[in-house]
């Protein structure tokens, strides 16, 4: 018996079963799904998602997805609801109840309580004829023929379909709300994604460390400025206008060609028309420029006036490079 072969086969069969169930769920989408999305979209309050068992875990994930994409949501555990937590529901809320069977004792007790104040109730269930199905205003059909486990007991296929339908709700609402990447970043300011979308060059620019020399500066003055500011580069200015840059690499290449330095000025070895970026640009844009031109520094401008230098290391420290 080839154990490794059997393990892989089981894994493939599980994924295939869950994939087929999601594909089948597409066929069950109907006007009730449309009405559910519209009801959530038009909700003045929040979407309250409730469930029990594994459906409760799925509900919590859907809540997290909706909150991060602009649909205020709260999770209400079906068992805790009847012990005081029903108080979180207001008359302006819409409710989504998730249950595979739609007939569990907790759901039968809870459903009438959810509807007593006239709230819209959406049922996500695999049994449209169940207690939940019959008492919901709209039904999102999450029917599956069987679970992926050999005993047809452990919630596997059913919870995968519930999760996928929750994502379908979220994405439909994203489209209806015209929710953008910048909107998404507002809810994720602390992570790498949020920084990519929100962080500006001015946020990480060291405004007090602006290496600069004149076009007529001597090589000694150039070397001193580069060493003193520790950025490996200096801007070359003429009457406050950016004329070029000199890197420590430029200095090394010059020394390989000549040791007669007395007559050489910054203008003689500078790179003209350096790549620049405005202080209000996204840091991600600065990174893209550096990668495109294989450079490690960018001259930063503010209304076309020299504002400083941003280095690749400044960006790396922010942790936004994937």
Which residues does the annotation place in the binding site for Zn(2+)? Answer: 77
Which backbone phi and psi does 95 adopt, to 5 degrees?
A: -120, 135
- Separation between Cα atoms, residue 133 and residue 127, nearest integer Å: 7
3-class DSSP state of 107? helix
Edge-to-edge strands, sheet with 121-125 = 73-77, 47-51, 94-99, 121-125, 138-141
Six token digits for residue 79 = 């068992």
> Which CA distances in Å does 126 have to 25, 83, 290?
10, 27, 52
Are 80 and 96 contacting, i.e. CB atoms less than 8 angstroms apart?
A: no
Residue pointed to by tokens 């069950």? 28
Q: What are phi and psi of 123, to 5 degrees?
A: -105, 125
| Rounded distance between C-alpha atoms, residue 221 and residue 251, angstroms | 12
Pairing of strands 241-247, 271-272: antiparallel
Binding-site residue positions = 77
How far is residue 281's CA from residue 284's CA, in Å, rounded to a whole number? 8
């Amino acid at each position: 018996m080839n154990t490794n072969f059997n393990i892989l086969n089981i894994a493939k069969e599980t994924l295939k079963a869950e994939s087929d169930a999601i594909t089948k769920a597409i066929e069950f989408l109907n006007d009730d799904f449309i009405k559910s999305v519209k009801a959530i979209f038009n909700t003045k309050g929040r979407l309250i998602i409730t469930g029990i068992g594994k459906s409760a875990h799925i509900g919590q994930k859907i809540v997290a997805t909706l909150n991060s994409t602009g649909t205020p949501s709260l999770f209400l555990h079906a068992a805790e609801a009847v012990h005081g937590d029903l108080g979180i529901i207001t008359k302006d809320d819409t409710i989504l109840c998730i249950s595979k069977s739609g007939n569990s004792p907790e759901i039968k007790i809870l459903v009438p309580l959810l509807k007593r104040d006239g709230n819209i109730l959406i049922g996500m269930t695999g049994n449209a004829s169940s207690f939940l199905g019959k008492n919901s205003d709209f039904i999102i059909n999450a029917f599956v023929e069987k679970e992926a486990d050999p005993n047809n007991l452990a919630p596997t296929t059913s919870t995968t379909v519930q999760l996928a339908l929750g994502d379908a709700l979220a994405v439909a609402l994203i489209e209806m709300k015209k929710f953008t990447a910048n909107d998404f970043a507002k809810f994720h300011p602390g992570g790498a994604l949020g920084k990519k979308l929100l962080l500006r060059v001015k946020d990480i620019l060291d405004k007090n460390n602006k290496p600069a020399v004149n076009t007529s500066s001597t090589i000694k003055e150039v070397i001193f400025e580069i060493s003193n500011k520790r950025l490996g580069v200096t801007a070359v200015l003429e009457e406050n206008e950016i004329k070029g840059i000199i890197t420590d690499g430029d200095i090394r290449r010059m020394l390989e060609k000549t040791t007669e330095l007395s007559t050489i000025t910054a203008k003689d070895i500078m790179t003209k028309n350096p790549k620049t970026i405005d202080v209000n640009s996204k840091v991600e844009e600065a990174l893209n420029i550096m990668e495109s031109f294989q450079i490690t520094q960018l001259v930063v401008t503010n209304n076309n006036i020299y504002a400083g230098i941003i280095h690749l290391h400044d960006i790396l420290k922010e942790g936004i490079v994937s």
